[in-house]
Amino acid sequence: MRQKYRICQSRKKNTLNIKEFAVLDKDTKNVDSSMLREDHFDLICDQDYDGETIARAAAAGCDELVETLRTPNLYPIAPYAEKIAESVLDLSRRDEDRCVELFFDDNELFVSEIPIHR
């Protein structure tokens, strides 16, 4: 599955918002990821967080932040959750309203060498 997460920090509202999108259309299965358009992605989750809750979790470290970011509706796998948390930490170091977007392709998770034990 190909997914993207849009992470937006609003200092004015003291909130963090994460939107999760995924490519669900089977017709795009053979479309190269670099050729995907915005309309290929469907919104599958929209999660708001209180800024102070996120700040406390961020101060406690990445593991605590991952636990805070995960909800019953938004529960990314560990490698994605860690990247999302890193992005949230980066956003929290800045004083302006900002958004970042992360793109993930599950196929990239399966491309790794496995050592052969003889």
Q: Find residue 8's DSSP bridge partners.
A: 17, 99
Name the residue ranges covered by the structural domains of the chain. Answer: 2-107
Q: Find residue 45's DSSP bridge partners.
A: 20
pLDDT by residue, tens only, the chain of 118 residues? 899 999 999 999 999 999 999 999 888 888 888 889 999 999 999 999 999 999 999 999 999 999 999 999 999 999 999 999 999 999 988 888 999 999 999 887 765 555 666 5
pTM of the model: 0.87
d(CA 10, CA 83): 20
Closest CA to 82 of 98, 62, 102, 64: 62
- Owner of token pair 């809750």: 53
